[in-house]
């Protein structure tokens, strides 16, 4: 198994500045400045663990290129692209759209490399240069919609790469699995009326964007049935996530029979994340990866490209990411010394209310 791995130091230079939790800092309101949650460290430390663990020697390093404007415009409006470009020239940069998604000077060019990095990963997989690939990029993408960025995202990296696969590479059917703990609203929106792209989002029920990612969101027109949302209750651990994979994600993708699988890979469903309340461990992420690889083997010769999204615990994200990369590449696991703590949390196994939600999704999706 050869696994493509894409990372570039410049991703660490995307400057989100200071922020006070979910809001811009504001001393008059008591919001003391702190480094933005979405900062370089989680990504940089994952990369450094990939190097220090020795896994880097078993991966095929890929170099990102910038996405072209034509590629961006398959998903975004000219106005959005031009505004980001203009604000990126200001000495202090700007915001992607919702006031929660700052970027520093030159942020446009780094965002182009993030979107282009996912395209690079997809191309490497489609060309057979590698069997599968992981793009460890920044800024993230899955919340960005046509006319604006939001939720720390500037451009919809994975959606742009999927449109590239369709329009430039002739890929017919694409399945997207988003296991970031937040709803992949931007990716879903980009393909809401496209019957050839199945978008599946596993997320914590109603966290971000507010009200988004309900079971009832199923796609529109000819594409009804090709959007699938699994809004898991807070406190869901490895057992609940695996159950959702086995009962919904795997059968839905089997029924869809894709030619390519893309994964929006956030690690903010981890048991140690400050921005959500799920309990997935590094072993849980390893199992999710293993499940999706089995489906990919059945339908598309194992072709999977993953795009990095959220994940905000600088200590734990590296071990979660390493587990995914090890599984993708078939490498011998490096020990996660933190694992015993989250693995020992009560409620790691499937709980009745979680099974109930999964059953409701199966029902809505016509799987039972």
Question: 178 vs 247, which CB is nearer to ligand 3YP?
Answer: 178
Q: With binding defined as CB under 6 A, does residue 108 bind ligand 3YP?
A: no
- In angstroms, rounded to a whole number, what is the distance separating the alpha carbons of residues 318 and 50? 8
Min dist CB 54 to ligand 3YP, Å, is: 29
- In angstroms, rounded to a whole number, what is the distance separating the alpha carbons of residues 216 and 214? 5
Report which secondary-structure segment, H or E, holds 242: helix 238-244
Q: With binding defined as CB under 6 A, does residue 208 bind ligand 3YP?
A: yes
Report which secondary-structure segment, H or E, holds 167: helix 157-167
Q: With binding defined as CB under 6 A, does residue 151 bind ligand 3YP?
A: yes
Q: With binding defined as CB under 6 A, does residue 103 bind ligand 3YP?
A: no
Q: With binding defined as CB under 6 A, does residue 152 bind ligand 3YP?
A: yes
Cis peptide before 139 (omega within 30 of 0): yes
Question: 23 vs 78, which CB is nearer to Zn ion?
Answer: 23
* Catalytic (active site) residue 203: no
| Torsion sign, CA atoms 158, 161, 166, 170 | negative
Q: What φ, ψ does residue 23 adopt, rounded to 5°?
A: -120, 155
Cis peptide before 161 (omega within 30 of 0): no
Residue ranges in 169-228 that form contacts with Zn ion under rule CB under 5 A? 180, 182
Q: Which residues contact 248 (CB under 8 A, 6 or more apart)?
A: 200, 228, 230, 358, 361, 362, 365, 367
- The single residue of 8, 19, 80, 143 carrying the catalytic annotation is 143
Answer whether 282's CB lies under 8 Å from 336's CB: yes
DSSP string, 299-355: HHTT-EEEEE-----TTTHHHHHHHHHHHHHTPPPPP-TTTHHHHTSTT-SPPHHHH
Task: Return the one option of ligand 3YP, Zn ion, none that residue 267 interacts with (CB less than 5 to 8 A, by type).
Answer: none
The interface mask with ligand 3YP, positions 297-336, x = CB under 6 A, is ------------xx--------------------------
Q: With binding defined as CB under 5 A, does residue 14 bind Zn ion?
A: no
Q: With binding defined as CB under 6 A, does residue 36 bind ligand 3YP?
A: no
Residue ranges in 257-276 that form contacts with ligand 3YP under rule CB under 6 A? 266, 268, 275
> Which active-site residues does the annotation give?
143
**List of residues contacting Zn ion (CB under 5 A):** 180, 182, 266, 268, 310
**List of residues contacting ligand 3YP (CB under 6 A):** 22, 100, 142-143, 151-152, 180, 182, 208, 266, 268, 275, 309-310
């Amino acid at each position: 198994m050869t696994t493509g791995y894409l990372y570039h130091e410049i991703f660490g230079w995307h400057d989100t500045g200071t922020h006070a939790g979910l809001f811009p800092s504001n001393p008059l309101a008591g919001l003391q400045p702190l480094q933005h949650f979405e900062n370089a460290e989680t990504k940089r430390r994952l990369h450094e663990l990939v190097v220090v663990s020795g896994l880097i020697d078993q991966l095929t390093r890929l170099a990102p290129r910038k996405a072209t404007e034509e590629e961006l415009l398959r998903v975004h409006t000219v106005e959005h692209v031009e505004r980001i470009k203009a604000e990126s020239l200001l000495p202090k940069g700007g915001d992607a759209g919702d006031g929660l998604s700052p970027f520093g000077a030159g942020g446009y060019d780094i965002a182009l490399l993030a979107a282009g990095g996912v395209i690079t990963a997809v191309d490497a997989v489609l060309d057979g240069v590698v069997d599968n690939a992981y793009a460890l990029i920044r800024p993230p993408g899955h919340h960005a919609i046509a006319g604006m960025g939001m939720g720390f995202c500037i451009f919809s990296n994975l959606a742009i790469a999927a449109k590239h696969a369709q329009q430039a590479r002739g890929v017919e059917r694409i399945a997207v699995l988003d296991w970031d703990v937040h709803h992949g609203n931007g990716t879903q929106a980009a393909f809401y009326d496209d019957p050839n792209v199945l978008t599946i989002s596993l997320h914590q029920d109603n966290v971000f964007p507010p009200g988004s990612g309900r079971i009832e969101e199923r796609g529109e027109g000819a594409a009804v049935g090709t959007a699938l949302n699994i809004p898991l209750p807070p406190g869901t651990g490895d057992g609940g996530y695996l159950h959702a994979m086995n009962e919904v994600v795997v059968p839905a993708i089997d029924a869809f029979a894709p030619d390519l699988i893309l994964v929006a890979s956030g690690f903010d469903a981890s048991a140690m994340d400050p921005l959500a309340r799920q309990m997935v461990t590094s072993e849980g992420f390893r199992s999710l990866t293993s499940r999706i690889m089995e489906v990919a083997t059945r339908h598309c010769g194992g072709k999977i490209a993953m795009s990095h999204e959220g994940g905000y615990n600088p200590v734990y994200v590296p071990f979660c990411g390493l587990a995914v990369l090890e599984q993708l590449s078939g490498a011998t696991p490096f020990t996660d010394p933190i694992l015993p703590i989250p693995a020992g949390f009560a409620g790691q196994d499937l709980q009745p209310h979680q099974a109930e939600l999964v059953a409701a999704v199966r029902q809505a999706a016509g799987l039972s």
